[in-house]
Amino acid sequence: MTTATSTTARKPMLPLSLLLLLLPALTFAQTRQELSLNSVAFFNTIPNPPSFVIPGQGVPLTITVALCSGSSSQPMPRFIVTNSTNNAIEDDPTSTTGGPDVFEIGLDDGLGTWTGEFPSGGVLAVEENGAQMTFEIGVSNDGPIHEHITSLPLLGDTTSNQALIFSHPFESFDRPKPSYPNYTLPVANQTLPSPTGNTPNFTLILSPTSNNLAARHQTGCFLSSQPKEGNITSETIWLKDQQGWRDQWLMGGLTPATNYTAYVLQDTNKVSGPIFFATKSASFSCPLVHSLPYCPGISYPIPLPAPPSAAPSYTTLNLPQNITDPLLSYLTNFTTTLTTFACGRDWYSPLVGCDDCQIAYRTWLCSITFTRCSEPSPSNPNAFTTGTVEPTATGLSALGPSKKHPDQKVFSALVPQDTARPEARRSPTLPPPSYAYDMLLPCIETCTAMDRACPAFLGIKCPTAQFNAAASYGVGYVDSADGDQGGGVTGNAADQWGNVWCNPG
Ligand SMILES: *[C@@H]1O[C@H](CO)[C@@H](O)[C@H](O)[C@H]1NC(C)=O
Ligand SMILES: *[C@@H]1O[C@H](CO)[C@@H](O)[C@H](O)[C@H]1NC(C)=O
Ligand SMILES: *[C@@H]1O[C@H](CO)[C@@H](O)[C@H](O)[C@H]1NC(C)=O
Ligand SMILES: *[C@@H]1O[C@H](CO)[C@@H](O)[C@H](O)[C@H]1NC(C)=O
Ligand SMILES: *[C@@H]1O[C@H](CO)[C@@H](O)[C@H](O)[C@H]1NC(C)=O
Ligand SMILES: *[C@@H]1O[C@H](CO)[C@@H](O)[C@H](O)[C@H]1NC(C)=O
Ligand SMILES: *[C@@H]1O[C@H](CO)[C@@H](O)[C@H](O)[C@H]1NC(C)=O
Ligand SMILES: *[C@@H]1O[C@H](CO)[C@@H](O)[C@H](O)[C@H]1NC(C)=O
């Protein structure tokens, strides 16, 4: 009794300083969650207290936030970070208090990034702002965990229900340079090397463009939660061109004549895209050819009968020998002739060598051998020349908007082909077509690049725009008709919106 009384009596007597120490400790019954380094935390609701501890680090940290639901037309939560050490939850940074070392992480398409020093840790506070959204937070000492990758996926091409799609390049490729006295060029039937590093985990997301994913949050967790279309027929890594290693998907089960939007996610949280493309109409008959080590760039439909044994496409495994044999023979013979030049010892150009010439010839040969089937661009359905072009034709050059015709759309280099004149087919290596189709002409740059890269004694001559180049090549798209590099009407053979103007090989 006496003890109790004395305890009660002593309570108000606690020194003020001790009281001040006890108060925060009581509030701390509600403890903030600590975010762990180099990992992603997912929240389906804003926690209580609505703030997180950021661990102290001797190196700069990158804090990323990604919204996983809702849309940017709704209120969105706000994320406020401070890198000053303040322990009291009452002192959590807010969007209104501001102060030194208090920063708001702005959201752009549902993604926010902030990098700074946290020598003794910090706090990330979330303001609900009337928003009910799920979100992720990443804390990293090794670059952002959530990211919008600037390089885009690449469309190979489509059929009525398939699409061949490549990821952005994930590892560069340095072609080994042969040198004198052992100047050896690769054999025609070469096998591809392997990437040296680890292949990231890639996920392809295909959605009909009518779902309008491009206007929603551009984050991995949001995009992967949306309904997808198509199924993966095959997935391989592929060295399509000098830009480096990419992942390659052959997708099936798509709907004919439909606009699609594609994204590639790298390691779940890094987003590349969108690109847009359209599947061909239901009557489109040409099957896809791809994954040819001797023609690594070829990834489009060609005018052959359907692949044997109901295979989904032609690859090196089922392409008829009477097509590959002449192709490899041309390439072998060309290489033999080329190496009669003292490659690597005498120089025909300060910029290029025999190896560059061989690659340029291969690109040209493959684009000529594998005639490309296509259809008018979706954004430009009337844009192709009707009627078979005569060998002497000079028309078909790219036309862009002009002062006189500001609405002029750019026509693709499409030439209708029928079964009536099999001898007039572009590629004697392919059998006469058994159905009518539209041929997409190779870009003239496949020829001019070879002309530039090869020694003069080979006598390579590309047709010129003044004569009949446009009857057999797409002219004026990439380079201007008089050869100004990149000065053409579109500056490129294709774009991210699904337009393809000529075949770059
Ligand atoms: C907080 O980060 C900013 C930006 O990186 C930096 O200028 C400031 O010195 C940091 N404050 C502390 C206490 O480290
Ligand atoms: C010459 O180079 C090729 C390919 O680079 C290599 O396989 C071969 O071993 C080399 N030969 C000599 C004698 O160094
Ligand atoms: C090309 O090489 C691969 C193996 O490296 C072989 O299986 C294939 O038969 C060759 N193709 C031709 C047409 O020689
Ligand atoms: C890819 O995912 C697998 C399993 O999901 C995982 O074991 C692997 O570490 C991941 N690779 C990379 C490079 O992230
Ligand atoms: C993929 O799509 C095709 C065409 O719709 C269908 O026949 C096939 O069963 C699908 N495969 C899977 C695994 O869903
Ligand atoms: C390649 O050269 C060989 C030998 O000279 C010849 O028999 C063959 O017909 C040539 N190939 C082509 C496609 O011209
Ligand atoms: C596809 O998109 C283009 C515009 O890029 C549009 O003109 C066309 O009507 C769309 N096609 C379909 C089937 O929605
Ligand atoms: C290749 O062989 C197939 C039959 O195996 C034949 O139908 C086709 O016409 C041949 N191609 C050429 C260019 O001779």
Q: Is residue 330 in contact with ligand 6, taking CB distance under 6 Å?
A: yes
Sign of the alpha-carbon dihedral angle for 93, 94, 100, 106: positive
Instruction: Say whether pLDDT at 390 is over 70.
Output: no
Q: Which of 171, 460, 421, 215 is nearest to 337 (CA)?
A: 460
| Contact yes or no for 125/50 (Cβ under 8 A) | yes
Flag the least confident range among 48-62, 277-291, 344-358, 416-430: 416-430
**241-258: buried (b, 16+ CB within 10 Å) or exposed (e) per residue?**
beebbbbbbbbeebeeeb
Matching residue, tokens 């190196």: 59
CA-closest residue to ligand 2 atom 12: 182
Asked if residue 8 has pLDDT above 70, the reply is: no
The CATH architecture to which 4-145 belongs is Sandwich (2.60)
Q: Given a cut of 70, is residue 95 above it in pLDDT?
A: yes
Residue 405 scores a pLDDT above 80: no
Domains of the chain, by residue range, sit at 4-145, 146-284, 294-505
Residue 39 reports pLDDT greater than 60: yes
- DSSP strand E in 305-418: where? 372-374, 414-417
Percent pLDDT > 70 in the chain is: 87
Where does the pLDDT of residue 72 fall: very low under 50, low under 70, confident under 90, or very high at 90 and above? confident
Contacts of 91 (CB under 8 A, 6+ apart): none
Phi and psi dihedrals of 236, rounded to 5? -145, 160
pLDDT band at 41 (very low <50, low <70, confident <90, very high): very high
The 8-class DSSP code of residue 214 comes to G
Tokens of 79: 């994320």
> What's the residue count for the chain?
505
Q: Specify the pLDDT at position 285.
A: 96
Instruction: Decide: 417 and 425 in contact? Cβ < 8 Å.
Output: yes
Q: Mutate which of 142, 199, 201 to test ligand 4's pocket (most atoms within 8 Å of Cβ)?
A: 201
Residue nearest to atom 5 of ligand 4 (CA): 201
Pocket test for ligand 1, best of 82, 83, 84 (most atoms within 8 A of CB): 83
Look at residue 422 and tell me whether its pLDDT is greater than 80: no
Within 6 A (CB) of ligand 4 lie: 198, 200-201, 267
pLDDT > 70? residue 380: no
Mean predicted confidence (pLDDT) in 479-493 = 87
- pLDDT score, position 379: 63
User: What residue spans of 87-198 are helical by DSSP H?
Assistant: none
Atom of ligand 7 lying closest to residue 278 CA: 1
Nearest to 505 by CA among 329, 226, 218, 296: 296
Mean pLDDT over residues 180-186, rounded? Answer: 93
| 264/409: higher pLDDT | 264
Is residue 333 in contact with ligand 6, taking CB distance under 6 Å?
yes
What integer is the mean pLDDT of 381-397?
52
Closest atom of ligand 8 relative to the 322 alpha carbon = 1
Q: pLDDT-based confidence at 467, cuts 50/70/90? A: low
Structure confidence at residue 336 (pLDDT): 97
Would you say 277 and 155 are in contact if contact means Cβ atoms under 8 Å apart? Answer: yes
Centre of ligand 5 from the C-alpha of residue 276, in Å: 22
Three-class SS state of 25: helix
Q: What is the pLDDT of residue 383?
A: 54
Torsion angle defined by CA atoms of residues 144, 147, 152 and 157, in that order, rounded to the nearest 10 degrees: 120
CATH architecture of 146-284: Sandwich (2.60)
How large is the average pLDDT for residues 457-474?
Answer: 82
| DSSP-derived secondary structure for 68-108 | -SS-TTS---EEEEE-S----GGG---TTT--TTEEEE--B
Q: Which tokens in the block code for residue 190? A: 């070469």
Question: pLDDT averaged over the chain?
Answer: 88
pLDDT mean over 231-255 = 97
Structure confidence at residue 413 (pLDDT): 86
- Quote the pLDDT of residue 79: 97
For ligand 8, atom 5, which residue shows the shortest CA distance?
320
Residue nearest to atom 9 of ligand 8 (CA): 431
Tens digit of each residue's pLDDT (9 = 90 or more) over 265-320: 999 999 999 999 999 999 999 999 999 999 999 999 999 999 999 999 999 999 99
Q: What is the mean pLDDT of residues 10-39?
A: 60
312 vs 307: CA distance, rounded Å: 7
* Lowest pLDDT segment from 265-274, 328-337, 404-413: 404-413
Q: How confident is the model at residue 398 (pLDDT cuts 50, 70, 90)?
A: low
- pLDDT value of residue 243: 95
Q: Which ligand is nearest to the CA of 323?
A: 8
The number of the ligand 6 atom at minimal distance from the alpha carbon of 326 is 13
pLDDT tens column, 118-158: 999 999 999 988 888 899 999 999 999 999 999 999 999 99
The pLDDT value given to residue 363: 97
Percent of the chain with pLDDT over 90: 67
Query: In this predicted structure, which of 155-159, 213-217, 353-357, 410-414 has the lowest mean pLDDT?
Result: 410-414
Q: Which residue among 187, 189, 192, 321 is best mutated to probe the pocket of ligand 3, counting the most ligand atoms within 8 A of its Cβ?
A: 189
Give the confidence band of 384 by pLDDT, cuts at 50, 70, 90.
low
Q: What is the pLDDT of residue 188?
A: 96
Q: Which residues, including other chains, have CB under 8 Å from residue 121's CB and lie 6 or more apart?
A: 53, 54, 55, 56, 83, 85
Please name which ligand lies nearest the alpha carbon of 231. Answer: 5
